[in-house]
Amino acid sequence: MINWEFIIGHLNYWFFIVLMMTGLYIVIAKGNLVKKVVGLNIFQTSVFMFYISIGKVIGGTAPIFPVDMKIDNNIVYSNPLPHVLILTAIVVGVATTSLALALIVRIREEYGTIEEDEIFIIEQELDSSNKAPNTYKENGHF
């Protein structure tokens, strides 16, 4: 018997799994390098959302203590650590994405394409004939 209460109660986790698998599929199935970067960003965003949802405490408040430091022991605080880690991960993710896109621009300038299969073919031809990659653009290939 299917436990619907469990499935609906953990709906956010199911959403993260679907989003994560979507990003992984894009990375594996697509040959376009920009689409691979987008797939990595989708995957990364699902991980961010997963960690933030773990840090959420029902009924919890922000962990800011009062000025007079009279702390009520009955107040439930949310854990700030997942949020801080995710802020750092977002910065690293933006830097990684910008580096990947810069490399893709450079690959496009060198090979005239951003398709993985076409780059592989060009590399195979270069290995067999020892031609420079720029000769492909000059001769009108790709």
Does 43 fall in a domain?
A: yes
In terms of residue numbers, what domain contains 17? Answer: 9-60+75-138
Q: What is the DSSP string of 102-129?
A: HHHHHHHHHHS--BHHHHHHHHHHHHHH
35-92 pLDDT, tens per residue? 999 999 999 999 999 988 887 778 888 888 778 888 888 888 888 888 889 999 999 9
Does 27 fall in a domain?
A: yes
- Can you tell me which residue has the tokens 């090979």? 111
Does 2 fall in a domain?
A: no
Does 129 fall in a domain?
A: yes
User: 130's torsion region: left (phi>0), alpha (psi -120 to 50) or beta?
Assistant: left
Q: Is the pLDDT of residue 139 over 80?
A: no
Does 130 fall in a domain?
A: yes
| Average pLDDT rounded to a whole number, residues 113-140 | 78
Does 3 fall in a domain?
A: no
Does 112 fall in a domain?
A: yes
Is residue 142 classed as helix, strand or coil in its secondary structure? coil
Does 68 fall in a domain?
A: no
Position 131 scores a pLDDT of 55
Position 102 scores a pLDDT of 97
Residue 93 CA: distances (Å) to CA of 51, 52, 112: 15, 16, 27
Asked if 75 and 60 touch (Cβ cutoff 8 Å), the reply is no
Position 20 scores a pLDDT of 96
| Average pLDDT rounded to a whole number, residues 97-117 | 95
CATH number for the domain spanning 110: value is: 1.10.287.3510
Within 8 A by CB and 6+ apart from 103, the residues are none
Number of domains composing the chain = 1
The widest CA-to-CA distance across the chain, in whole angstroms, is 77
11-20 pLDDT, tens per residue? 888 899 999 9
